[in-house]
Amino acid sequence: MTELPRIPTSGGCREEPILKQRGQREVFCGLTGIIWLHRKMQDAFFLVIGSRTCAHLLQSAAGVMIFAEPRFGTAILEETDLAGLADAQTELDKVVDQLLARRTDIKQLFLVGSCPSEVIKLDLSRAAERMTEKYAPSVRVLNFSGSGIETTFTQGEDACLASMVPVLPKTDARQLLLVGALPDVVEEQAVSLLEQMGIGPIKVLPAPRAESDLGVGENTVFALTQPFLGDTHAALERRGARHLAAPFPFGEEGTTAWLRTIADEFDVDAETFERVTAAPRARARKAIAQASEALRNKSVFFFPDSQLEIPLARFLTRECGMEAVEVGAPFVHKGIVGPDLDMLAKGPTLSEGQDVDLQLDRCREARPDLTVCGLGLANPLEAEGLATKWAIELVFTPVHFYEQAGDLAGLFSRPVRRADLLKLEPAE
Ligand code: SF4
């Protein structure tokens, strides 16, 4: 019989006080999400309406190959646009006309807002409506914001998926919708485990192509695979779909609890659940035990960045033997991360938002063995002798579900082992 994850004897953190901070913050912008979204949606194009800085961010982060036809680009706002001397809407129409005439493979076009387009209040929803009328039914045009005026980089994916929900066709079919852009291999593992239990039909948002049979309605239940999908969650509920709240599928325990929540909804019996999950669970436990040796009894401090902080703190404390000092998250949405908070033992400071100098002071005082933070903070903290892990790597690396659980622990143990080795090196 599968053991169920238990609420810690000290009580979980769901009702613990949260330190709310609204000061200066250090994060990437939501354009970053385009880098993994364009790989998932094979007939989509992401047109950022932004500055040269936005174009540079995308090009350097995505490592564009000049011989490939990219599925994202930047319509650069020039000084005349920014000064209101040109009609940016007309300019944008011209760019889109040229793009769609040349690229007939594009079936979904996302107009992506940036800091400059928001500062000049360029109305991209109006542009998307106008273009949808012009190009329907061959191309669907949507818009979302990826600007750094939002709080954190994973909001780009959330905003993108949320923009797709209102235009999904209505369906009355009883179905499971998995929500979140995962690497294909990881998504296939999740779908395979669920199908082996007899659960179906299973749909995924985002679908790989616009012309998929993906619909939504009152008989849709959905499970999030990423904890940063708050707006998408709200948009799906507005369409009548019901959320299956569960711990996130990180580590053996989180994956089992996530699968169990779905299995219960679809009346899967305990024997079937055990038959399907026993072997991968055993593999995951073994891999975590090996990869987490260096983490036992070590302390960890999370700066708010990826929005994965709470589920990861649950994984690191319960499955890898770490002690969490502070768990900072850009947002704490209890409807989404509540089940993870239930399983996180009381003790760490829970913080929401950021006031970076105050948080750096707390971190320096705690001197944690590992600090999980954004790129901008990692190098200065390393220079102060603190071992760090870049939060953004957790979104770019396959880390969900059983087969990746050892790799997930390994991502955290590598910097800790390296710091341990450096401590052993005799000083010159
Ligand atoms: S959207 Fe804003 S933060 Fe992001 S690259 Fe463009 S200017 Fe910079």
For residue 63, pLDDT beyond 70: no
* Residue 271 domain-assigned (yes or no): yes
Is the CB–ligand 1 distance for residue 58 below 6 Å? no
Model confidence pLDDT, tens digit, residues 180-195: 999 999 999 999 999 9
Whether residue 411 sits in one domain with residue 309: yes
Q: pLDDT band for position 171 (50/70/90)? A: very high
Whether residue 200 sits in one domain with residue 115: no
Among 117, 150, 183, the domain-final residue is: 150
- Of 7-16, 226-235, 289-298, 302-311, the range with the lowest mean pLDDT is 7-16
Nearest CA to ligand 1 atom 8: 54
* Residue 157 domain-assigned (yes or no): no
- Of 23-32, 222-231, 348-357, the range with the lowest mean pLDDT is 23-32
Question: Quick one: pLDDT at residue 4?
Answer: 65
Model confidence pLDDT, tens digit, residues 351-408: 999 999 999 999 999 999 999 999 889 999 999 999 999 998 999 899 999 999 999 9
Whether residue 265 sits in one domain with residue 367: no
Whether residue 344 sits in one domain with residue 313: yes
* Residue 255 domain-assigned (yes or no): yes
Whether residue 187 sits in one domain with residue 142: no
Question: Quick one: pLDDT at residue 425?
Answer: 64
> If you average pLDDT over every residue of the chain, what do you get?
92
For residue 64, pLDDT beyond 70: no
* CATH number of the domain within which 402 lies: 3.40.50.1980
**What residue has token string 């989180």?**
254
Question: Quick one: pLDDT at residue 7?
Answer: 81
* Residue 284 domain-assigned (yes or no): no
Nearest CA to ligand 1 atom 5: 54
Percentage of the chain modeled with pLDDT above 70: 95
Model confidence pLDDT, tens digit, residues 196-207: 999 999 999 999
Among 150, 166, 188, the domain-final residue is: 150
Whether residue 98 sits in one domain with residue 39: yes
d(CA 170, ligand 1 centre) in Å: 35
d(CA 60, ligand 1 centre) in Å: 13
Model confidence pLDDT, tens digit, residues 277-289: 999 999 999 999 9
Among 115, 133, 150, the domain-final residue is: 150
Question: Quick one: pLDDT at residue 121?
Answer: 87
Whether residue 333 sits in one domain with residue 253: no
Is the CB–ligand 1 distance for residue 54 below 6 Å? yes
Is the CB–ligand 1 distance for residue 113 below 6 Å? no
d(CA 323, ligand 1 centre) in Å: 35
Whether residue 143 sits in one domain with residue 42: yes
Whether residue 412 sits in one domain with residue 311: yes
Question: Quick one: pLDDT at residue 195?
Answer: 98
Mutate to test the pocket of ligand 1, among 27, 28, 46, 51 (most ligand atoms within 8 A of CB): 51
* Residue 414 domain-assigned (yes or no): yes
Whether residue 144 sits in one domain with residue 200: no
Number of domains in the chain: 3
Whether residue 211 sits in one domain with residue 298: no
Is the CB–ligand 1 distance for residue 148 below 6 Å? yes
The mean pLDDT of 25-41, rounded to a whole number, is 89
Is the CB–ligand 1 distance for residue 155 below 6 Å? no
Q: What residues make up the domain containing 349? A: 18-25+291-424
Query: pTM of the entire structure?
Result: 0.94
* Residue 209 domain-assigned (yes or no): yes
Whether residue 94 sits in one domain with residue 206: no
Nearest CA to ligand 1 atom 3: 148
* Residue 299 domain-assigned (yes or no): yes
**Radius of gyration, alpha carbons of the chain:** 22
For residue 69, pLDDT beyond 90: no
Is the CB–ligand 1 distance for residue 48 below 6 Å? no
Question: Quick one: pLDDT at residue 91?
Answer: 87
* Residue 386 domain-assigned (yes or no): yes
